[in-house]
Amino acid sequence: MSEHARPVGDGSLDPETAAKARSARDALGERDGVLVAFSGGVDSSVVAALARDALGGDAVACTARSETLPAAELGDAKRVAGEVGIRHETVTFSELDDPEFVANDGDRCYHCRTMRLGRMYETARDLGIDTVCDGTNADDPGEGHRPGLRAVEELDVFSPLLDAGISKEEVRAVAESYDLSVSDKPSMACLSSRIPTGLEVTEERLTRIEKAERVLREWGFEGFRVRDHDGLARVEIAPDELERALDPAFADAVHEHLTDLGFEYVTLDMAGYRTGSVSPGGADEGGSNGADGTDGERGSNGADDDRESGEGTDDGVDIGRRYPR
């Protein structure tokens, strides 16, 4: 069987998606080696799987560690690289070293992506690899304000999903065909996307945002954001989980926990979670390692549901819920 005819993943893809996936795999296979800017989200994971399929040990995944990457996401990236079977490297840098990033203007994601991809190219050169590729897909260019994509273009990063015309829905299908656990993982934006444009990005703000969102994740919420308005926490909860957040026990507990973390005030946004509510153009752009989207789909977290049991109503709302003190 020729390389082109060999099925992608488990061979279950529909013919059109399979043809696109083979095209992306073939394009990767034409390179002597590739380094995949890898966040562990679904887009970069699919690129990693296709690259590993095409190039074997000449494909490397690389994750950039910084203050804007939640620790849980780094752990996920390591785990998913293991699923793919690809060599995984990490590099460390700080966006906070760049005054233009810290200023948090409308081009924050451009500055972030330029720094991240610059570190990817440095690592690739150290490994004797000429090509850096990312997970930009065919839907990304049309999703509002995306300055990070300008950095991808300027640095001549190879985007095999985009070139092959693979949409987000098709990316998830390819991920499923490779039996990747992230096939339905929501897209993830970096922590700085929780800070309104014009308000400086600081380590203090990033730290309390990460800790606040960890609390919500541990309580079993899946679609959410904690926006930091200079010490005021604006908690956004996905519409299908919002009724549970209206429980007075939740209000009491979230106020106590988030003020303990350094927030002066804690509010619940009654409009619920939506992307880009503090950013120009209405989209959170991920400062992700692999262009895993705009943060576009839902909450930050494909988290396990470790909710406490309690007496609930027939519609699933847990009125008797108790939150940890």
Question: Considering just the CA atoms, what is the radius of gyration of the chain in Å?
Answer: 20
- 295 or 56, greater pLDDT: 56
pLDDT, mean of residues 214-240: 94
Amino acid of residue 217: R
Q: How confident is the model at residue 189 (pLDDT cuts 50, 70, 90)?
A: confident
Name the DSSP letter for residue 89: E
pLDDT, mean of residues 32-53: 97
Q: How would you classify the pairing of strands 87-92 and 59-65? A: parallel
Q: How confident is the model at residue 106 (pLDDT cuts 50, 70, 90)?
A: confident
Per-residue pLDDT at 301 exceeds 60: no
Per-residue pLDDT at 3 exceeds 80: no
Instruction: State pTM to two decimals.
Output: 0.81
Largest CA distance in the chain: 64
Give Cβ neighbours of residue 16 (< 8 Å, ≥ 6 apart).
none
pLDDT score for 276? 64
Per-residue pLDDT at 144 exceeds 80: no
The CA-atom distances, in angstroms, between 73 and each of 40, 189, 209, 214, 321 are 7, 10, 14, 12, 28
HSE-up (13 A, CA, CB side) for residue 301: 25
- 300 or 225, greater pLDDT: 225
* Rounded Cα distance, 238 and 222, in Å: 8
Q: How confident is the model at residue 186 (pLDDT cuts 50, 70, 90)?
A: confident
* Rounded Cα distance, 305 and 45, in Å: 23
pLDDT score for 284? 53
Per-residue pLDDT at 230 exceeds 70: yes
Per-residue pLDDT at 315 exceeds 60: no
pLDDT score for 188? 73
pLDDT score for 146? 73
pLDDT score for 248? 93
pLDDT, mean of residues 186-207: 91
What tens digit of pLDDT does each residue of 231-287 get? 999 999 999 999 999 999 999 999 999 999 999 999 999 999 887 666 655 555 454
- Strands in 265-268's sheet, in edge-to-edge order, are 224-229, 232-237, 265-268
